[in-house]
Each structure stands twice: as structure tokens, then as C-alpha cells.
Amino acid sequence: MPPLMKPTVLTATIANGASLSDAIDVGVGAVLGFNVPTITTAVLTFQGSDDGVTFTNVKDAAGAEVQIGSSAGAMFVSAPAALSAVAFLKIRTGTSGAPVAQGGQRLVGVVIK
């Protein structure tokens, strides 16, 4: 039996004073979830791209921004299904209409397989 492939953890960085991370290439696998550090309290929303250049807000079939809750402490959160088609990803603290600037650099682990 061949060895099982371990998940890979990529890092999305949200700079101090910013609400949107740098872009990461998740096209090499499916996004399984996120290792979310302690953040300035906000939901997490996403921007996605198929070319790594033009990013748009990730929305569900009803047209609402895809979001996951966050907590005041570090945690692991499963990825929403809507992220399965995204090749490049940015993570936002807050929503597009109400982004939440972070009080320090935040490193979000993006688990793919």
C-alpha cells in the first residue's frame, strides 16, 4: 500500500493594519481548512481568482459572501465548499463592506491536500 499523502499547509499573511492577506496559490490541491491564529475579532471572508491577477469576492449560490466565524483564540476551521473551485485565494478579516484591520501581523495556515 502506498503511503498516504499528508496535507500541505500554506501561509496567508495579513499585514499589521491590513484586513486582506497576500494571494496564495491553492490550485495544487483542494482547500481542507484553515489554522486561524488569534485575530482581532471578525468573520473571515475570501477573494478568489483563477489567474492570480484578478480577484473577486467569493460568494455562495445565493449571492452572499462566503464566510466562516472566528474566535478570540486560535482554532482550526473546515473550508466552505465554495472554495473548491478557487485557484488563488486571499483571506479577509471582516466582510467586503466592513473589513476589520488587524492589530498585528496574522499568519493564517491554509491546509490543502
Q: Which among 60, 7, 1 is positioned nearest to 30, based on CA atoms? A: 7
Query: Would you list the domain boundaries of the chain?
Result: 8-112
CA distances from 91 to 86, 96, 98 (A): 12, 11, 14
What pLDDT was estimated at residue 72?
Answer: 64
CATH of domain 8-112: 2.60.120.260
* Pairing status of strand 88-93 against strand 44-49: antiparallel
Half-sphere exposure of 45 (CA within 13 A, CB side): 19
Q: Is the pLDDT of residue 103 over 90?
A: yes
What pLDDT was estimated at residue 19?
Answer: 97
What pLDDT was estimated at residue 73?
Answer: 72
Q: Considering the entire predicted model, what is its pTM? A: 0.91
Long-range contact pairs involving 78-82 (C-beta distance under 8 Å, separation at least 24)? 78/32, 78/33, 79/31, 79/32, 79/33, 79/34, 79/111, 82/58
